[in-house]
Structure 1
Amino acid sequence: MDSASAPEPNTSHPVAFPHRRWKNHPCAGVDFPDITSSTSDARWMRLACDGLAAHLDSKIDLLAGIDIGGLGLAGALALRNALGFIDIRKVGSIRADVVRSLTANYELGNGIALSKGHALVGRHVAIIDDCLMTGGTALATAQLLDQLGARCTQALFVFELEGLGGRERLGESGVAVHSLERLPPVQPE
């Protein structure tokens, strides 16, 4: 963690969420924006939930929060909008009987997992996560949900790192992307 920014909310301009950047994480040349500076403050958490809610398609009835940054956001947004919520976890982080997608890369490790038993057939699901980078985790999530009978056509993020191809990768697969704030992949000095 090399830097932090914490501007005050301003409704006349796009919101710049407080965050700190983790240098060269998860790989060299990428500084991951850690959202916990925002989510630990009720004002910012409300702004994030309100911003994400403004982009939710009216057909959505279930939110899929991605481990770890998307879990709290999706839970709060589900409560705010009276929607269902499921958690998408990294393989190995849950011990229940799971359905998984094994697509290894730096974002996914050994893939993603979802506890079995969710009624997903015909459900309209939006993916929620804190940051979009290459789109690998979100795409694996959308594909797994689609395989299980859900319709996953939307992904919402607080941050999007520009130039890493995530928006394009998801768009090519029919998943619309909305992010509240776009950032360069490396924190400017």
Structure 2
Amino acid sequence: MASEDAQDHRIARISSAIRVIPDFPKPGIMFQDITTLLLDPQAFKDTIDLFVERYKGKNISVVAGIEARGFIFGPPIALAIGAKFVPMRKPNKLPGAVISQEYALEYGTDKIEMHVGAVQAGERALVIDDLIATGGTLCAAINLLERVEVDVVECACVIELPELKGRDRLGDKPLFVLVSAA
């Protein structure tokens, strides 16, 4: 693994590549826009490299990416660590038989789904998304995987909004984040 100084340098580059858009999608929200991170090849590479360094050699067989931005970070991590990538999608987006998990939103409920048979009991999974806010989507992904007896090793996000306390909702599941949007 790289030295602490190299990690700090990479984290600073990643953080500076994320654009903050005030009042989007509604007043009072400071939207963390990762599309600018994707436009910076070195910052994007640093992001993937930091996750790969953390998870290589941890016997993770599944990288479960949450729609939609988990689909950006998950596949290159899965390839680099020798794991399969499993998309966790919004309802009615996957063909064939699915298993779903409902979760609460501020204004109602939503669901995430994955294909039946995409994972096997006893597999070790990493759940990845771009951002953790309230933690609802990550919790739903954990619950969905654990229902089919998959061991969720850790959750990983590029950005954390700590004031929304999403980490607290994950219970004993570890969370690894690169940037805190404090």
| Number of the residue aligned with 2:125 | 125
Change in CA separation of 1:175 and 1:47 when aligned onto 2, cut-off 3 Å: same
CA distance in 2, matches of 1:93, 1:108: 20
- Structure with the larger RCO, 1 or 2 (CA within 8 Å, 6+ apart): 1
The sequence identity of aligned pairs, in percent, is 25
Change in CA separation of 1:60 and 1:108 when aligned onto 2, cut-off 3 Å: farther
Contact 1:108-1:136 at 8 Å conserved across structures: no
| Number of the residue aligned with 1:162 | 162
Any gaps of 5 or more consecutive residues in structure 1? Answer: 1-9, 185-189
| Number of the residue aligned with 1:30 | 29
Map Cα deviations across residues 44-72 of structure 1 (whole Å, 9 max, x no partner). Answer: 22101111123327132210011011112
Higher normalized helix content (fraction of residues):
2
What's the offset of the Cα at 1:108?
8.9
Kindly indicate whether residue 15 of structure 2 is the aligned counterpart of residue 15 of structure 1. Answer: no
| Number of the residue aligned with 1:60 | 60
Written as runs of structure 1 = structure 2, the 5 A alignment for 1:65-84 is 65-84=65-84
| Number of the residue aligned with 2:43 | 44
CA distance in 2, matches of 1:97, 1:134: 29
Equivalenced residues, count: 173
Kindly indicate whether residue 110 of structure 2 is the aligned counterpart of residue 87 of structure 1. Answer: no
What's the offset of the Cα at 1:104?
3.4
CA distance in 2, matches of 1:34, 1:111: 23
- What's the TM-score, normalizing by structure 2? 0.84
Q: Which moved more, 1:12-21 or 1:138-147?
A: 12-21
SS in 2 for 1:92: coil
Q: Which moved more, 1:58-67 or 1:91-100?
A: 91-100
Change in CA separation of 1:107 and 1:77 when aligned onto 2, cut-off 3 Å: farther
Any gaps of 5 or more consecutive residues in structure 2? Answer: none
Change in CA separation of 1:161 and 1:34 when aligned onto 2, cut-off 3 Å: same
CA distance in 1, matches of 2:154, 2:86: 15
CA distance in 2, matches of 1:156, 1:77: 11
Map Cα deviations across residues 119-151 of structure 1 (whole Å, 9 max, x no partner). Answer: 321000010111111111001100110001101
